[in-house]
Amino acid sequence: MQLNPLYYTDQHIAFADSVRKFTQKELMPHINEWEEAETFPRELYQKAAEVGLLGLGFDEKYGGISGTDAFYVLLSSIELAKTASGGLCASLLSHSIGAPPINHFASDEIKQEVLTKILSGEKISALAITEPGGGSDVAALQTKAIRDGNDYIVTGEKTFITSGIRADYYTVAVRTDPDAKGANGISMLLIDAHSEGITKTKLDKMGWWASDTAHIHFDQVRVPVENLLGTENMGFFVIMNNFNMERFFLAASSYGFALVCYEEALEWAQQRKTFGKRLVDHQVVRHKMVDMATRLTMTRALLEDTAYRLGKPELQGNDLIAQICMLKNVATQTMQFCADSAVQTLGGMGFMRGTKSERIYREVKVNMIGGGAEEIMKDLASRQLGY
């Protein structure tokens, strides 16, 4: 697809090319094996760091890449989606949601000690917010952190945590004021994932097989007070600050996976023959392909407009938050439609493990739920729009 020069610079294009080469060399030859093994090598993080994938949006002082905007995230998401493995992408880039609170709210000493190692791929970061009884209702979290001298003592549970088993650091939402209700009294802590009192349990999933996903139990875990991210009892702001780019990343990835489904279905339709002619020569199939292309074009336009606005402070505000919510829903619905249409077009082959569309079909729902379920997005958008 030709890139619009109004949005993309030579630097954007060069970066996309480097991610494309990385994907072809380091990921594509092994992805089916990693999916079946439900893991991938730890050294892949360092290889990703070498091509700049881990540094996007982070302070250059700690190993990040300066001057990168949302278009870098969009382009890299599209290239990585060619693996058709949402689990690989989610775990390899789990720092993109686990590390921003460190980047924005930790002390310089912690950034130097922790963030540099995460951005180099030496250490792995995970975000731990969701709880068994809360889901998308962040304000209902129950994990407690009680002050005891120079430490917090953390007790509670987190679930559906991407990179939860192999992570070295958790960025954890806790309730530091047990008497506060809702969004009040919540704080964010950086917790060493190897601390005494932490139990990790691997979770089996419908999709995202290559992703390490865990249930985590904190039993009287001691965390130094200096590991507080931001101001005590003001952690809800830290969490909300993190959501915009997480949702944009999910939307960009969803678009990339939808595009993979479209391309696989089109290639099959151009080669497969039924009733004496190619599938694509049947009007009903051509219309299906056009429906997929229409949704992809619509989603790409909204993605690029949102990426542009994310880079313009004067265009940010409640309207942009609402647009990101709508974007996530539009992109994941496009992914759902294209995955379903691709499997239908491939017929029996679409039901076979090994086709990209089959894998993506199993992973649609996690994109629609993760980062805020579709219903949550609609409600949040309505509030931002004032009704």
Positions annotated as catalytic residues are: 246
Q: Compute CA distances 328 → 209, 223, 292, 321, whole Å.
A: 22, 35, 17, 11
Query: What is the Cα 184 distance to its own chain's centre?
Result: 26
Can you tell me the distance from the alpha carbon of 129 to that of 259, in angstroms, rounded to the nearest whole number?
30
| DSSP string for residues in 48-107 | HHHTTTTTBTS-GGGT-BTT--HHHHHHHHHHHGGG--HHHHHHHTTHHHHSHHHHHHS-
Closest CA relative to residue 93, chosen from 155, 25, 144, 19: 19
User: Cβ(345)–Cβ(288) under 8 Å?
Assistant: yes
Residues linked to residue 191 through DSSP beta bridges, in sequence order:
170
> By C-alpha distance, which of 223, 235, 216 is closest to 153?
223
How many angstroms separate the CA atoms of 244 and 300, rounded? 17
What angle is formed at CA 158 by the lines to CA 156 and CA 159, rounded to 5 degrees?
Answer: 145
The one-letter amino acid code at 326 reads: M
Strands 144-148 and 151-162, bridge-based pairing: antiparallel
3-state secondary structure at position 223: strand
Q: Which residue has the tokens 């999933």?
A: 205
HSE value, Cβ hemisphere, 13 Å, CA-based, for 214: 23
SS3 359: helix
Instruction: Please enumerate in sequence order all residues whose Cβ is within 8 A of that of 181, keeping only pairs 6 or more positions apart, or say none.
Output: none
